[in-house]
Amino acid sequence: MADVELTHELQKTSGDVPIYEYEVLTDGKGYPTNFKARTRPGLMIVRKDATIQDTEDRGEFNIPLKAQAQQQSFNILSPSGQQTAYKLKWKVTEEVPPPPPTVSGVDILATTSTTINQWVFGSADIHYRPNTIFQTQNSLFSKNRWGIGANYSTSIASPTSGGMTNLNTDLEYRLLGNTHWTKSTELGLGASYGRVQYAALDASLLGVKGFIYLHLGEKGLPILNKISWFRKPHSLFLQGRFYSASMSSSRELTGSNFDLQLQHRTYLGQYWHISFVPEFKSYNYQEAGVANKRSISVIVLSLGLGAVF
């Protein structure tokens, strides 16, 4: 289960009526529900929404809080008409506990997708990173730096006969070692092998890969935070494969061949995440010496479920 940390600060912005003690009450998950405080007796509490509350004989008052508001303003009004203004600010941080720092990691993702031109794809993605290679503590071969990955996608429906199948396998190296996928920033490079089949003609390609992972924390994207369900840890994972060589003399590359993918992940807990994945694929190749060319560029929008172990 994700850990919730609540931090808060009470500011007096004007006036001189003190608050002797206060407490921010929370629900079972750790989100703020009420502000309970004690000041001088016989005063009036005026909230931002014009609700008025009497401190009664003991000087105590209680203000309900909305967790997503992140602040609550109120005034303390004395019988003589003098006002003291207060503002309570709070921040709720929900973090996914990282996996232990000395274990191998597996990242898997399965998606289904569609495009604007009648393509429908199904795909699976997996990455594996051992903690160390050859049982060495040398920083070049340990700290989860090396990894392998594979991505397979196939067309479930297509506007052309023969459809499209695409397999990518990667050897990855992280420039930042000993970091965690759910709580870190990553930057890495790699080598990539790709095999694509489009309209019954295939090609095997060799190229390079680059990737970056950004942990956005509980705030994620502000536009999504307006929906309470999305107030969870988020991350962005951008990877690109660029192919420059054919591995077969019977195939020639006739243009750019690349695959760009952006994953926006919303973590549901320590392991599971929902991912929205825009992707741009472009492949251009032909049979050597034969005017039998294949050229495809397609934007794919995917939604999937993944896990990190």
Domains present along the chain, CATH in parentheses: 3-95 (2.60.40), 105-308 (2.40.160)
Exposure of 120 in the CB half-sphere (CA atoms within 13 A): 3
Where does the pLDDT of residue 118 fall: very low under 50, low under 70, confident under 90, or very high at 90 and above? Answer: confident
The model's pLDDT over 139-153, given as tens digits with 9 standing for 90+, comes to 677 667 888 999 999
| Under 8 Å between Cβ of 292 and 281 | no
What is the pTM assigned to this prediction? Answer: 0.62
Alpha-carbon distance of 300 to 116, in angstroms, equals: 8
| Under 8 Å between Cβ of 41 and 17 | no
Where does the pLDDT of residue 175 fall: very low under 50, low under 70, confident under 90, or very high at 90 and above? Answer: confident
Where does the pLDDT of residue 120 fall: very low under 50, low under 70, confident under 90, or very high at 90 and above? Answer: confident
pLDDT the model gives residue 187 = 87
The model's pLDDT over 195-249, given as tens digits with 9 standing for 90+, comes to 999 988 999 999 999 999 887 776 556 666 666 666 777 888 899 999 999 999 9
Where does the pLDDT of residue 258 fall: very low under 50, low under 70, confident under 90, or very high at 90 and above? Answer: very high
Give buried/exposed letters for 5-23 (b at 16+ CB in 10 A, else e). Answer: eeebeeeeeeeebebeebe
Alpha-carbon distance of 119 to 39, in angstroms, equals: 66
pLDDT the model gives residue 49 = 74
The whole-chain average pLDDT of the chain stands at: 83
pLDDT the model gives residue 181 = 52
Alpha-carbon distance of 125 to 150, in angstroms, equals: 6
Average pLDDT over residues 70-94: 89
Alpha-carbon distance of 51 to 290, in angstroms, equals: 81
How do 272-287 and 251-253 pair as beta strands? antiparallel
- Pick the more confident residue, 179 or 244: 244
Q: Which of 178-192, 231-245, 260-274 has the lowest mean pLDDT?
A: 178-192
Average pLDDT over residues 161-174: 90
pLDDT the model gives residue 182 = 52
In the sheet with 52-54, reading across from the earlier edge strand, the strands are 3-14, 83-95, 71-77, 44-47, 52-54
Alpha-carbon distance of 70 to 91, in angstroms, equals: 6
Whether the per-residue pLDDT at 101 is higher than 60: the answer is no
pLDDT the model gives residue 30 = 85
Whether the per-residue pLDDT at 262 is higher than 80: the answer is yes
pLDDT the model gives residue 194 = 95
Whether the per-residue pLDDT at 96 is higher than 70: the answer is no
Whether the per-residue pLDDT at 81 is higher than 60: the answer is yes
Top-ranked range on mean pLDDT: pick from 50-54, 241-245, 285-289: 241-245
The three-class DSSP label of residue 250 is coil
| Under 8 Å between Cβ of 293 and 283 | no
Whether the per-residue pLDDT at 122 is higher than 60: the answer is yes
Query: Both tokens of residue 221?
Result: 């994207």
Residue found under tokens 């050229």: 295
Beta bridge partners of 258: 242, 282
